[in-house]
C-alpha cells in the first residue's frame, strides 16, 4: 500500500517529467499534452504537500 510520502514522490517525478517534456519535447502533440497536463499535476503535488504538512 502506498503511503502519502510515496505518493508525493511519484507525483513529483511525474510533474518533473511533464515539465521537461513540455519544455524539451520533440513530438509536437506530446509536447502540447505535457504543457496542458503539467499545471494540473503541479496542483496535485501542491495539494499533497499541504496534506502532508497538516499531518505533522
User: What is the reported pLDDT for 30?
Assistant: 95
What pLDDT band is residue 4 in, cutting at 50, 70 and 90?
low
Under 8 Å CB-to-CB from 32, ≥6 apart: which residues?
Answer: none
Query: What is the tally of structural domains in the chain?
Result: 1
Domain containing 32 equals 4-55
What is the distance between the alpha carbons of residues 38 and 8, in angstroms, rounded to a whole number?
15
User: What is the reported pLDDT for 46?
Assistant: 92
- Helix, strand, coil percentages (3-state) for the chain, rounded to 5, are 90, 0, 10
Q: Within 10 Å of residue 42's Cβ, how many Cβ atoms?
A: 17
**Mean pLDDT, range 41-47, rounded to an integer:** 91
What pLDDT band is residue 43 in, cutting at 50, 70 and 90?
very high
pLDDT exceeds 90 at position 5: no
pLDDT exceeds 80 at position 7: no
Under 8 Å CB-to-CB from 52, ≥6 apart: which residues?
Answer: 4, 5, 8
Amino acid at each position: 500500500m502506498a503511503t502519502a510520502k510515496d505518493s508525493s514522490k511519484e507525483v513529483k517525478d511525474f510533474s518533473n517529467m511533464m515539465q521537461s517534456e513540455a519544455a524539451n519535447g520533440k513530438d509536437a502533440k506530446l509536447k502540447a499534452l505535457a504543457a496542458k497536463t503539467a499545471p494540473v499535476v503541479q496542483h496535485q503535488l501542491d495539494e499533497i504537500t499541504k496534506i502532508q504538512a497538516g499531518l505533522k
